[in-house]
Chains A and B, each alone.
Chain A
Amino acid sequence: MSGKGGVGKTTLAVFLSTYYARKANNVILADLDVEEPNAGIFLQKTEIHSIDAVVYRPRWKEDLCIFCGKCQEYCKFNAIAALPNYVIVFQELCHSCYACSELCPTKALPMYPAKIGTIGTYHIKDNFVFIEGRLDIGQEIASTLVKQTRDFVVQKAQEAQKALEAHATMIVFDAPPGTACASREAMAKADVVILVTEPTPFGLHDMAMAYKLVKASGKPCAIVINKDTPGYDGIEEFAKSENIPILARIPYSADFAQAYSKGELLNSDDIYHGINIEKSLQAIEAWVSKNTSGGLK
């Protein structure tokens, strides 16, 4: 997680999952940034399958409606306008909570399925799977798909674990930026959280917001500083005052940024565009295994 966008969540998630896979772990990398999934760009992959992500939303039945207006009062998302002689359901604002449908005294708002996106599964290596949630264009609610993708990934990991018996599966969730519902859903099933940030006041501000969310969950949490350059100590000061370990500092590199902008595959070589990424990944691995008792889930 990061709060701020563009700090390097995806880069680190791709490197970290590739690293774990190279060390013969069973790994699933999950891109939960469903509004703009991009981890797949940096991986050589083959699609296994893609399923539709479906939610249920109400449709108004005029002949059953008694125009009591209760549906509009119940809707916490302002998705319903109840007029004296007409009810409008704004599908794009609906969170599929069922409140209006179940509480309508005349059952005038039955629920119908609607496709909101896709969940794609890709083969990277025999022990490395990539799963991506992708929201359809025009859809406004990302959190539902984040949750569905996350649960799909966890289910796949459990199935794999059962089938393979010996090995646990490592899941790397690449969370969306921000600190709202979608981010909360993204971290809900994680054992540990890594906050990726950049050494700028903006990076600190949004990371501090994300940290508030993580702190409330009680999950172990650590910081990785990406695009590190000297001159700003805000992240260190914050980490010290909150007692959060800083696991790694990945230095800024113009070469790296250029390779990224071209969508170059992120291969976890020891030295990547002049940066010793391996050392950072080792430090992360050590912290993760220390904080996940009884092995990885």
Chain B
Amino acid sequence: MKIIFSVTENKGKQSIVDARFGRAAGFFLFDEENDSGTWIDNTSNMNAAGGAGVQAAQAVVSSGADVYIGPQLGPKAMSVLSMSKVQLFEGVPGKTVEENIELYKAGKLLKIR
């Protein structure tokens, strides 16, 4: 299973989950099978005049992730992601990817609807 996180910088599993989605610095795609991760840069979106959420949502879909963990999503990002099969969970911003994985596995993260 692949989990994608909205993060503030590229520090592997120690990356901090961002409070922003469309204008996050990047996404960390974690592959559970081989315990490894890939960095997806989002800096080009950080200063977009509009539609940052749309582009970020598109990046999440194209990453092939099964699960998204990050902040709440805006209406435009939501309408893109709800057309995909990605399961959406509200992560805890400020905590690391590793901590969020544990919370997710313990069933402590809420589904975003």
Contacts and interface: CB of A to CB of B under 8 A. Distances in A.
A38 B75 CA distance: 31
B51 A90 contact: yes
Contact of A140 (B50, B61, B80, B84): B50
B1 interface: no
Contact of B54 (A79, A86, A140): A79
B50 A81 contact: no
A93 B83 contact: no
Nearest to A141: B50
A79 B50 CA distance: 8
Interface in B2-58: 48-52, 54-55, 57-58
Contacts, number: 37
Contacts of B80: 81, 83, 88
A82 B52 CA distance: 14
Contact of A90 (B48, B54, B83): B54
**B-side interface size class:** 10 to 19
A244 B63 CA distance: 53
Nearest to B83: A86
A140 B75 CA distance: 14
A77 interface: yes
Contacts of A77: 49-51
A83 B61 contact: yes
A90 B78 CA distance: 12
Tell me the interface secondary structure of chain A in the complex.
mixed
A72 interface: yes
A84 interface: yes
B76 interface: yes
Nearest to B52: A78
Contact of A83 (B49, B55, B58): B58
A72 B76 CA distance: 15
B82 to A, nearest CB: 10
Given A72-B58, A83-B61, A93 B51 contact: yes
Given A81-B80, A83-B84, A88-B83, A93 B50 contact: yes
Nearest to A72: B58
Nearest to B77: A81
A84 B55 CA distance: 14
Nearest to B51: A78
Given A81-B57, A90-B76, A93-B51, 17 more contacts: A72-B58, A77-B49, A77-B50, A77-B51, A78-B48, A78-B50, A78-B52, A78-B55, A81-B54, A81-B58, A83-B61, A83-B83, A83-B84, A84-B61, A86-B83, A88-B83, A90-B54
The 4 closest A-B pairs by CB, nearest first: A78-B51, A81-B80, A86-B83, A93-B51
22 contacts: A72-B58, A77-B49, A77-B51, A78-B50, A78-B52, A78-B54, A78-B55, A79-B51, A79-B54, A80-B54, A81-B57, A81-B58, A83-B58, A83-B61, A83-B80, A83-B83, A83-B84, A86-B83, A88-B83, A90-B76, A93-B50, A93-B76
